[in-house]
Amino acid sequence: MPYLTESDAIRNAIDHFSHFPILWLDTEVADYDSKTPRLSLIQILADSTDLTGERVTILDVLDRPDLTDYFITKIMLVDRIEKVFHNASYDCKFLGGKGQVKKITCTLELAKQVPYYIAPLPNYQLKTLAECLCHFPPIDKTEQGGNWGKRPLTVAQLEYAQKDPVYTAQIHHRLLQLSHLITPDPAGENLKRLTNRYWEIYQQWKILDTEMEHLKERLKSAMIEQEAAEINGFSVSYQNRTSKKVKLAELAKVVYLSGQDSQISLSLTNDLLKELGDLAQGLTIEENRQKISQLTIKQSEADLR
């Protein structure tokens, strides 16, 4: 596990890794819970067969923006290099910004696309994915909240830092395998198996859905009453909506008196047609037809018992 602290060695390592088509990356950040977090380490793995972290290179870039900028220029902004992170949006904040970096793959986002029945995960944390999808032994994340702004780093910190790119690489490969199960060829789908699975979970989903809606309504009412703008990921916002109506006769009069050959078209809703009644018979109505596909579900309550 190369741990590089000298500027020349770090630049040479960046040049070396700039020739690889794909890199699995991670960062450690000092003062992450403050208003001024500082990038501390960049961990790089180019060989995904490494299961121990021996081939992970750690770049110490604490308070060295010139080295960080060099990494951004040579790696992050290069479109031919795929950069794989877990929770990439966080790391990219320190490595060039989301709108600037090129060819980023995020294992967190990939994991969210896997349906629960394919991979029943309790959450999408790196630790969980590594243990559940890749069968790594229980992972100790104690050092995640360590002091990454203090030097020298401890042996435990360096051992921790070298492992995350390994986990990310293995999770990435496993998620790519699972992606074939997520988007199979529709022509070869087993329709009976799909419908059977749907009805297996339908009843449970309906029960949970009613509870979810009930909880959201209670929570909204309670937050409004207690004047709690935000709590535990929930927030209440307010919007003032204004709708405008005009009588059709008045609109027609204005158009007529303007003397203009108006081409204004109105969408005739069922309610408007009902109000027009027989008057609609004298109108030249254009119809726009669209073919819309819809899945119809027919199942009696008795079948669900």
Tokens of 73: 């220029």
At residue 282 the predicted structure's pLDDT band, cuts being 50, 70 and 90, is confident
At residue 201 the predicted structure's pLDDT band, cuts being 50, 70 and 90, is confident
**What is the H or E stretch that residue 22 is in?**
strand 22-30
At residue 180 the predicted structure's pLDDT band, cuts being 50, 70 and 90, is confident
Of the candidates 106, 104, 54, which has an alpha carbon nearest to the alpha carbon of residue 83? 104
- Residue 26 pairs with which residues in a beta bridge? 43
Cα torsion through 201, 203, 205, 208, rounded to 10 = -140
Query: Taking all residues of the chain, what is their mean pLDDT, rounded to a whole number?
Result: 89
Answer yes or no: are the C-beta atoms of 174 and 135 closer than 8 Å. Answer: no
Higher-pLDDT residue of 39 and 258 is 39
Question: Each residue of 96-147: pLDDT tens digit?
Answer: 998 899 999 999 999 999 988 889 999 999 999 999 999 999 999 888 888 9
Instruction: Out of 44-53, 154-163, 211-220, pick the least confident.
Output: 211-220
CA-to-CA distance for 276 and 254, rounded, in angstroms? 19
Pairing verdict, β 22-30 and 82-85: parallel
Answer yes or no: are the C-beta atoms of 28 and 161 closer than 8 Å. Answer: yes
Answer yes or no: are the C-beta atoms of 41 and 28 closer than 8 Å. Answer: yes
Higher-pLDDT residue of 26 and 207 is 26
At residue 175 the predicted structure's pLDDT band, cuts being 50, 70 and 90, is very high
Alpha helix stretches (DSSP H) within the chain: 7-17, 65-71, 88-92, 107-112, 126-134, 155-182, 191-225, 248-258, 270-276
CA-to-CA distance for 39 and 28, rounded, in angstroms? 6
Write the CB contacts of 121 (distance below 8 Å, at least 6 apart in sequence).
111, 114, 128, 129, 132, 133
CA-to-CA distance for 256 and 237, rounded, in angstroms? 43
The yes-or-no verdict on residue 13 having pLDDT over 90 is yes
CA angle 147, 152, 153 (to 5 degrees): 50
The rounded percent of the chain whose pLDDT value lies above 70 is: 94
Predicted confidence at residue 302, as pLDDT, reads: 40
At residue 205 the predicted structure's pLDDT band, cuts being 50, 70 and 90, is confident
Whether the bond between 152 and the residue before it is cis, its omega within 30 degrees of 0, is yes
Predicted confidence at residue 261, as pLDDT, reads: 65
With both helix axes pointing from N to C terminus, report the angle between 155-182 and 126-134 in degrees, rounded to the nearest 10.
Answer: 60
Predicted confidence at residue 305, as pLDDT, reads: 43
Predicted confidence at residue 304, as pLDDT, reads: 44
CA-to-CA distance for 58 and 162, rounded, in angstroms? 7
Higher-pLDDT residue of 235 and 109 is 109
